[in-house]
A and B are shown apart, each in its own frame.
Chain A
Amino acid sequence: QLQLQESGPGLVKPSETLSLSCSVSGGSISETNYFWDWIRQPPGKGLEWIASIHYSGSTDYNPSLKSRVTISLDTSKKQFSLEMSSVIAADTAVYFCARRGFYNLFDPWGQGTLVIVSS
């Protein structure tokens, strides 16, 4: 059964870069029909899609975050990663990684990791 696990610092200073990784186990990260996505959820608020990557290298970004975000994928490590630059307090959120299928279903999700932006 495919499982995803986020990892990264839980605390990032304002103006610095947030870096997270998602490890994929129990399945392949190189399957043609799937994409690998990051989604976040500020405390007490709703879900916001951040970015997506296919193992071929194709990427998509939320236009509102595109200037600060980079998504990448390492097939040898079975990981995909997120970098968000120039973070501010409003970037404080639980960050989820998820696999997305052809008809845009997110399943499964990682458990999520809380990132707090604070000095």
Chain B
Amino acid sequence: NFMLTQPHSVSESPGKTVTISCTGSSGSIARNYVQWYQQRPGSAPTTVIYEDNQRPSGVPDRFSGSIDSSSNSASLTISGLKPEDEADYYCQSYDSSNQVFGGGTKLTVL
């Protein structure tokens, strides 16, 4: 079964840049698009990146996504960190008719 692995937690200071990785267990992560969702406590997830590197309207350009085929990983990078970026972040993709989520990464903005 295809799995997506994320670090359990990351932390960084306001104004800095943080990158959250999402590594595919097999095959090529580049074969299907990767989405990234932000989830604040008590709320449903919202999209911050779709189709690997596209930002929905309303999401600041401090958020960016990329794919690295050599490491079979997707990455979410948040620059100029703000306290309101503190949340859980999930990557999501698809394999053999199944939707797959990463385990989630808790971002703490110190």
Binding site for B on A (CB under 8 A): 37, 39, 46-49, 52, 60, 62-63, 96, 100, 103-107, 109-112
Contacts and interface: CB of A to CB of B under 8 A. Distances in A.
A37 B100 CA distance: 13
Nearest to A49: B99
Contacts, number: 59
Contact of A104 (B43, B90, B94): B94
B98 A63 contact: yes
Interface residues of B, number: 25
Contacts of B53: none
A112 B33 CA distance: 25
Nearest to A97: B44
B45 A104 contact: no
A105 B50 contact: yes
Contact of A46 (B33, B98, B103): B103
Nearest to B90: A47
20 contacts: A39-B99, A46-B103, A49-B98, A49-B99, A49-B100, A60-B97, A63-B1, A63-B98, A96-B45, A100-B99, A103-B33, A103-B50, A104-B33, A105-B33, A105-B47, A106-B37, A107-B56, A109-B45, A109-B46, A111-B43
